Amino acid sequence: MKSHLITLAAAGILSISGASAQVMTLSECMRQAVGNSTKVRIQQADNDDARIRRRDAILNAFTPSISASTYAYSNFGRSVDPETNTYVSTASFNNGYSVSAGISIFNGFEAVNNIRVAKTAMRMGISQEQQIMDEICLATMQAYYNAVYYQQLIGIMESQVKTAQDALTLASKQEELGQKGYADVVEMEAELADREYQLTAARNSYADAMLTLKDLMFWPLDEPLNIDVTMAETEEVVMISPSDELGNITGYAVRNMPSIAVAKASLENALTALKSAKWKFTPSISLYGGWSTSYYTYPGQEGHVPTPYWNQFRNNSGEYLQVSLSFPIFNRLSNFSNLRNRKNDYRRATLQYEQKMRDVEAEVARAVQDRDGASAAYRQAERRAAVQEEAYRMNIRKLEQGLISPIDYQKAVDNWLNAKTTKLNALLTYYIKRSVVEYYKGIPYIEQ
């Protein structure tokens, strides 16, 4: 799956102050959440560290280390004359310069393996960033649909409160006319109080859902957030997928999911580390070279005529070239311990990769099953809501004509209300389950 690194600027939402009148779609909410997420920015900082480690690994493998030094000191006691190699007992001044360089020619392919590990770690970081973004998008989607559900539920409950108020008004008039008893009026008052309580509960749940959504989006908690709810009003026909779709989705998911890429990269790094541990038993070869020169004089010695500075600088200079061969003979069995640890790491990474493959296959199967189940549940809820709505309308006319009791009417209202909210919940649940399946097909949440 290609990486979709969404930034706040790319989302087109650089400022949210005074944007309360804007109606935010689900895609815009997800972009806002991804663009402002601290988790994404932390992972991006980790990815930058991985790039630096890759650069350092390349430089360590192919470039030498170079150093230069100089010194100057005065000696006021007995010292050795560099020219005659005899002791003198007069003050002297010494000045020297040196440049040295060294490079590892062969160290058991450690430098090359470090480059491989660094490149794989960087690729792993990019996959982890995409995985974090996907998780944030899914959490935002769930919070968004929860807010849509409770907002629609508030509308349903408000209509029910209005209906209950009208029924109470009618029952009060019928009581005055002697068509209803006081008990019937009390029943209608209880019905109204119950609907008002449910409306208050729905408003509280909506406020909590909006708070969760704002928190995910890093939206100012004291500013209003308007979201698009048209998807809850669109009753689209949903179809169950063909039976052969599962194999295609699973095949794509195990090749492209960020979680699989992370597990595979961990396995590759473990194998590279194991190879490096085996090569630790081989000798290492290094090459060194350098140049140095010095200057000396005896400022306190009478009759001493020092050799000119530039003559000494040229005459005292010298170069060296050194090849070093190092054999690991005994280092307290640390190489053996390191080899066993790397074998265990490789075995562990192999098992984790196999488990992740199994997990993704199970997740895809569950996602397809949940989507198809949600599709069937929505169609059933749609039929049930239509029947209950018809029964509710018939009971309203019966109540107006005094043909049913308030208790029977309340039961009919409850049945219709439950059917309507169940239909709405089934529709939004289907949207989420469908999005998960589309994600496993390779379509990011933010592009659906």
Largest Cα–Cα separation, the chain: 142
Return d(Cα 11, Cα 31) in angstroms, integer. Answer: 6
Given this model, what pLDDT does residue 299 score? 81
Given this model, what pLDDT does residue 305 score? 77
> Who's near 170: CB < 8 A, 6+ residues apart?
399, 400
How would DSSP label each residue in 200-257? HHHHHHHHHHHHHHHHHHT--TTS--EE--GGGT------PPPTTHHHHHHHHHHHH-
Given this model, what pLDDT does residue 238 score? 53
The amino acid at residue 410 is Q
Return averaged pLDDT per consecutive 10 residues of the chain, 448 residues in all.
Answer: 37 38 89 95 96 94 94 86 80 92 91 93 95 96 96 90 83 77 82 90 96 95 91 64 75 93 95 94 94 88 79 92 92 91 96 96 94 92 92 84 76 86 93 93 91
The answer to whether the beta carbons of residues 442 and 248 sit under 8 Å apart is no
User: 160: closest CA among 394, 336, 416, 334?
Assistant: 416
Given this model, what pLDDT does residue 118 score? 94
The amino acid at residue 98 is S
What pTM was estimated for this model as a whole?
A: 0.81
Running DSSP on this structure, what letter comes out for residue 282?
S
- Residue 327, class by beta-carbon neighbours within 10 Å (0-12 exposed, 13-18 middle, 19+ buried)? exposed
What is the residue whose two structure tokens read 């000045």? Answer: 95
CA 414 to chain centre: 43
Domains and CATH numbers, the chain: 8-68+111-284+334-447 (1.20.1600.10)
> Who's near 283: CB < 8 A, 6+ residues apart?
106, 325, 326, 327, 328
By DSSP bridging, strand 318-326 and strand 226-227 are unpaired
User: 137: closest CA among 263, 1, 296, 245?
Assistant: 1
- Residue 331, class by beta-carbon neighbours within 10 Å (0-12 exposed, 13-18 middle, 19+ buried)? exposed
Return d(Cα 307, Cα 295) in angstroms, integer. Answer: 9
Give the 3-state secondary structure of residue 135: helix
Alpha carbon of 383 to those of 232, 240, 386: distances in Å?
17, 17, 5
What is the residue whose two structure tokens read 């002791």? Answer: 87
CB-facing half-sphere around the CA of 204: CA atoms within 13 A: 6
Given this model, what pLDDT does residue 55 score? 95
Given this model, what pLDDT does residue 4 score? 39
